Amino acid sequence: MTAYSFKVFLVPKVGAHAKSSDLAIEFVKYDPSKPEEMKQYEKVVALIKPKQISVANLGALKASQVVQQVAARLTRKFNMNSHRKCWRYFNTRPPTGSAAPEACDNRYCYYDVLHKDYIYMPAWVEFLVGKLSDAATYAIVIEGATPPVAAAAAGA
């Protein structure tokens, strides 16, 4: 019985088009007259072409996460009830049980059909922090204070 030895250097080579293949292999003939070049092939173990994996709702927030982030940035009280008052006041999403739950302001909110809940965008946090940092707006939206214009009109 005769024993044979076979050595192969596999050099991964990304195809011309990103989606054309996961990995292309180029066979390189060993050339002892080029020891430096051959040494480089010894260093290459494997090259992996990353795959793009789609992720649903990437960067989106649950209502509880919105509450945490807004509360951390405001100097005033902000809780889940405050958040409910905000989406109602700013008409960001329809009321719970709406026949058209997807009728959201998509700059700030989306309805997730699969999970039957709402997801919020980071822009919603920024919007709330900006609006509620104003004491008068906070009083109107969260505390239910009467706007100064409406109060003046009611007194006239």
User: CB atoms < 10 A from the CB of 23, how many?
Assistant: 13
Q: Are residues 78 and 29 in the same domain?
A: no
Q: Stretch 128-156: mean pLDDT, rounded?
A: 82
Q: Kindly report the backbone phi and psi dihedral angles of residue 126, in degrees, each rounded to the nearest multiple of 5, phi listed first.
A: -60, -40
51 domain residue, yes or no: no
Q: Are residues 77 and 38 in the same domain?
A: no
Q: Are residues 103 and 147 in the same domain?
A: yes
53 domain residue, yes or no: no
- What pLDDT is attached to residue 38? 73
- What pLDDT is attached to residue 27? 66
Nearest to 7 by CA among 25, 29, 26: 29
Q: Pick the more confident residue, 15 or 88.
A: 88
148 domain residue, yes or no: yes
Nearest to 145 by CA among 136, 154, 153: 136
User: Tens of pLDDT along 30-73?
Assistant: 777 888 877 776 655 555 566 777 888 889 999 999 999 999 99
50 domain residue, yes or no: no
- What pLDDT is attached to residue 60? 95
Q: Kindly report the backbone phi and psi dihedral angles of residue 14, in degrees, each rounded to the nearest multiple of 5, phi listed first.
A: -70, 135
Domain count, the chain: 2
User: Tens of pLDDT along 72-83?
Assistant: 999 999 999 999
134: which residues sit within 8 A by CB, 6+ positions away?
A: none
- What pLDDT is attached to residue 126? 97
77 domain residue, yes or no: yes
Query: Is residue 90 scored above 60 in pLDDT?
Result: yes
Identify the DSSP state of 133. Answer: T
Distance of CA 113 to the CA centre of its chain: 18
Q: Are residues 35 and 67 in the same domain?
A: no
4 domain residue, yes or no: no
Say if residues 89 and 106 touch (Cβ distance below 8 Å): no
- What pLDDT is attached to residue 87? 97
User: Tens of pLDDT along 96-114?
Assistant: 999 999 999 999 999 999 9
- Structural domain including 25 reads 10-43
Give residue 117's pLDDT band: very low, low, confident or very high (50, 70, 90). very high
48 domain residue, yes or no: no
- Kindly list the distances between the CA atom of residue 62 and the CA atoms of 31, 134, 141, in Å, as whole numbers in the listed order: 60, 24, 21
33 domain residue, yes or no: yes
Query: Is residue 23 scored above 60 in pLDDT?
Result: no
Q: Interior CA angle at 133 toward 127 and 137, to 5°?
A: 85
Q: Are residues 22 and 92 in the same domain?
A: no
Q: Are residues 16 and 88 in the same domain?
A: no
Q: Are residues 74 and 19 in the same domain?
A: no
